[in-house]
Amino acid sequence: MREKVARDDLGSGVGELAAEPDTVDDFEGLYERYRLQIYRTIRGIVLDGPAAEDLTQETFERAFKARSKQRTESSPAAWLHRIAVNTSISHLRRQKLARLLPVRMFTGEGLSDFDQAEQRSLATRALAALSPKLRAVVVLNYYQGMTRDEIARTLGIPPGTVASRLGAALESMRRALAETEQERASGRLNRERTW
């Protein structure tokens, strides 16, 4: 049911919203309509709840500042998703950079990516196996229901690149899932042996 509501929020497609010329003028309405969608998209890319909330705020702040430029584009949804994806990827880049800093040696390591992934569900684990760019394409395709052309327009990349990224992402997710299955099987086997 929640899924149905989410789909209805988005409309049948991103292009449908192009028929609403005054959507950006009513920015509060835009926020109310898309905040959940944007939050979940970002959450699917960064895989971190609190960070996703901050990045959602940042996305709408950026959108608000650049709302005069949006008039030239076709759809507010595509425009917002483009900002959201760029914000998320920038955030992940910053995080990656922060991980390389030597201060981490003094603060101590937290859970490794693998350990964190262990605690996640199957879908999150599959997404965690992808690079941020692949994750963005997967979320826009499988969650937002965008076509390849829509994703290409949203991210500003050629449709061929979208297709290749989707193919690579599927391959990685399959592999991640297969590894998970193997680990589970070997874990079960070990437990049986100890008994």
Partner 1 sequence: MKRTVADPEWGEMIRSELDSYVPERLPARFVPRVSRRHRVPRVGWRPLAVALAVIMLGFVFATVAGGPESFYRSVTQINQSRNVTPVPTSTPTPSPEKTPKVGRSPIPSNHPRSGSLSPAAPPPAPVAPASAPTPALSTLQTPAPPRHHRAPTPAPTPTPSRQLCLLGIICLNTS
Rounded Cα distance, 191 and 189, in Å = 5
- Look at the alpha carbons of 101, 102, 105, 106 in this order and tell me if their dihedral is positive or negative: negative
**Exposure b/e, 162-191, CB count within 10 A at least 16 = b:** beebbeebbebbeebeeebeeeeeeeeeee
CB of 49 to partner 1, least distance (A): 7
Which residue is listed with tokens 């192009």?
18
If you write DSSP's letter for every residue of 49-101 in order, what string do you get? Answer: HHHHHHHHHHHHHHHHHTHHHHTTSS-HHHHHHHHHHHHHHHHHHHHHHHHHS
Q: Report CA 75 to chain centroid distance, whole Å.
A: 19
Among residues 10, 39, 46, 151, the one that binds partner 1 under rule CB under 8 A: 39
Q: Which is nearer to partner 1, 78 or 146 (CB)?
A: 146
Beta carbons of 156 and 82 less than 8 angstroms apart? yes
CB of 101 to partner 1, least distance (A): 28
Among residues 11, 18, 20, 36, the one that binds partner 1 under rule CB under 8 A: 36
Q: According to the binding rule CB under 8 A, does residue 9 interact with partner 1?
A: no
Among residues 13, 20, 27, 147, the one that binds partner 1 under rule CB under 8 A: 27
3-state helix, strand, coil in the chain (%, to 5): 80, 0, 20
Q: According to the binding rule CB under 8 A, does residue 60 interact with partner 1?
A: yes
Q: According to the binding rule CB under 8 A, does residue 8 interact with partner 1?
A: no
Among residues 13, 18, 20, 53, the one that binds partner 1 under rule CB under 8 A: 53
Among residues 10, 17, 43, 137, the one that binds partner 1 under rule CB under 8 A: 43
Which residue is listed with tokens 């964190």?
116
What letter represents residue 12's amino acid?
Answer: S
Among residues 124, 128, 147, 159, the one that binds partner 1 under rule CB under 8 A: 124
Q: According to the binding rule CB under 8 A, does residue 91 interact with partner 1?
A: no
Among residues 68, 121, 156, 191, the one that binds partner 1 under rule CB under 8 A: 121
* Residues found near partner 1 in the complex (CB under 8 A): 2-3, 6, 27-28, 31-32, 35-36, 39-41, 43-44, 49, 52-53, 56-57, 60-61, 64-65, 121-124, 126-127, 138-139, 141-143, 145, 170, 173-175, 177-178, 181
